[in-house]
Amino acid sequence: MLSLFKNKKQSSFFSSYDLDLEEGETTHEILAQTRVDKRTAELLEGAMKIEYKNDIASKVHWIEEGDYIEEDEPRFETVPISYRDYPINTYKVLISNKQGKHRLGGEIPTEFNLPLNNTQTPHIYLGKLDCVGERSLTWT
């Protein structure tokens, strides 16, 4: 029997989880940057699963360290967010390695020249990323 009504269901997982799902390009950019696979979402401290019905968000599941803690109706200001098939991103983390070529914080290297600062906001040295030979940093 042919149904006259669509009943297409999809779901996606995201590493961000405290988000008002307002239809708009900014929200879609955030979702595109944070889409992960189910396994990754369940390993993170916090993530979310969005269920879509007929290409419109219908439920949000909050995930904390693998536990689905609550189920909410999505929070919409005006228009419910629509489904887009974003590529699944690889989730990467920083791992401490004293012999590594990257560094967070510490003393400013002598060869690093801070730009002249003539404002009241100070420059803050955050560290060093060495992108040479790093496939994961090819975007820099």
Percent residues over pLDDT 70 in the chain: 81
pLDDT for 114 = 79
**Is the pLDDT score of 38 beyond 90?**
yes
Tell me, yes or no, whether 2 lies in a domain.
Answer: no
Q: Which residue segment(s) compose the domain that 57 sits in?
A: 9-72
Tell me, yes or no, whether 48 lies in a domain.
Answer: yes
> What global pTM score does this model have?
0.66
| Closest listed residue to residue 15, CA positions, set 70, 74, 92, 127 | 92
pLDDT in tens, 65-111: 889 986 666 666 677 889 999 999 988 877 777 777 777 777 888 88
pLDDT for 19 = 63
Tell me, yes or no, whether 45 lies in a domain.
Answer: yes
Tell me, yes or no, whether 24 lies in a domain.
Answer: yes
The residue with greater pLDDT, 100 or 33, is 33
Q: Using only C-alpha atoms, what is the Rg of the chain?
A: 21
Tell me, yes or no, whether 53 lies in a domain.
Answer: yes
Q: In whole angstroms, what is the distance from residue 19 CA to residue 27 CA?
A: 8
Q: In whole angstroms, what is the distance from residue 140 CA to residue 131 CA?
A: 7
Tell me, yes or no, whether 127 lies in a domain.
Answer: no
Tell me, yes or no, whether 119 lies in a domain.
Answer: no
Q: What is the mean pLDDT of the chain?
A: 82
Residue tagged 């690093």 (tokens):
112
Residue 80 CB neighbours (<10 A): 15
**Is the pLDDT score of 115 beyond 70?**
yes
**Is the pLDDT score of 140 beyond 60?**
no
Tell me, yes or no, whether 78 lies in a domain.
Answer: no
Number of domains in the chain: 1
Residue type, 32: A
